[in-house]
Homo-oligomer: A and B are copies of this chain.
Amino acid sequence: MSRAITTDLVADLARGAAVLGTGGGGDPYIGGLLARQALAEHGPVPTVALADLPDDAFVALVAMMGAPTVMVEKLPGLAEVVAPVRAIERLHGRRVTHVLCAEVGGVNSTIPIAAAAALGLPLLDADGMGRAFPELQMIIPTLYGVTASPLGFADDKGNVGVLETVDNLWTERIARVACVEMGCSVMISGFAMSGAQAREALVDSSLSTCLRIGAAITQARRDNLDPVARVVDELGGRELFGGKVRDVQRATSAGFARGSARIEGEGRELELLFQNENLVALLDGEPVVTTPDLIIVLGEDTGEPITTEALRYGQRVRVVAAPADERWHSPAGIDLAGPRYFGYDLDPLRFDGRRSQP
């Protein structure tokens, strides 16, 4: 992706991001609105490929932290987006040169566009996960020893904080309780790293991938082709299941949207377990795919990605599984974001049913 992000690209980008977001990251439509607003006000946002990033660049992520159920009702303002970046810049003693997406997912792929526009900075064509995950330390840079600290956070009321913690799990723990107290949604900035570190520790070409997937869905609809099949192709994944949503259990607790959904089709049942993101798929009670691989719910005919908070009784959906960045399957990656971390007593299963580690 060598071009700038303009308003006409936002819809495809947000849609593609919502596919990779595996149910988390908030409503792509809302996220798109925010990005469009910022682009209209500040002009196109230039993107920079990882390969073109200078070694002495100073990259930091900008993201929204909180329950997507709250995020979608409370768009951040400009001050809220800029404040956490300024807070960490003050501690680092230098200015951030490039904005990074923490994850791909509805809101958290488009918030950084708005942030980059507001800050007048280019956006990296990369992200920290290649998917979305619910906790702050669950990011590939953690596997490379990049610290979340100093982590800036800001709310819509004007409250700002900075944390410097002994590890990224502690950043998550303290920022999470602060986030809940501040209204279940804050803007954060952190994981600052050099250009050299960024090239090693990030997932390359994420924005390009989102845009490609989003455009493939749009094009398939236009050509009367099957958008879901196009997504499966683009991701190198497989279609797991198709059917009708017959039950959704959902609760926002401790800053997360946790729950499960049951989908019924041709006499079988697929159960999805989620915490912001879809984490486990069980077919007739047997696990078939787990985190860290991707479990994606799409509209049956439209291929429109459906976030966990938008899942509703009666929706006709198809569920796609796809491979995660291979680094998530390392022992340290599985410790960070495998099913056991989330409290599911299951061995990790890849999108194609193979065990994650032999």
Instruction: Please give the residue numbers on chain A whose beta carbons come within 8 Å of chain B beta carbons, in ascending order.
Output: 87, 90-91, 157-166, 170, 173-174, 176-178, 180-182
Contact = CB atoms under 8 A, between A and B. Distances in A.
Contacts of A157: 166, 170
A177 B181 contact: yes
A32 to B, nearest CB: 30
Contacts of A162: 161-162
Contacts of A87: 164
B174 A161 contact: yes
Given A173-B181, A174-B181, A174-B182, A161 B163 contact: yes
A286 to B, nearest CB: 37
Q: How many copies, total?
A: 2
A255 to B, nearest CB: 11
Closest 4 CB pairs of A and B: A177-B177, A158-B166, A177-B181, A159-B165
Contacts of A166: 157-159
18 contacts: A90-B91, A157-B166, A158-B165, A159-B165, A159-B166, A159-B170, A159-B174, A160-B163, A160-B164, A160-B165, A161-B161, A162-B162, A173-B181, A174-B178, A174-B181, A174-B182, A176-B181, A177-B181
Nearest to A87: B164
Nearest to A165: B159
Nearest to A159: B165
A158 B170 CA distance: 10
Given A90-B91, A177-B177, 13 more contacts: A87-B164, A157-B166, A157-B170, A158-B165, A158-B166, A159-B174, A160-B163, A160-B165, A161-B162, A161-B164, A162-B162, A174-B182, A177-B178
Contact of A177 (B160, B164, B180): B180
A4 B247 CA distance: 71
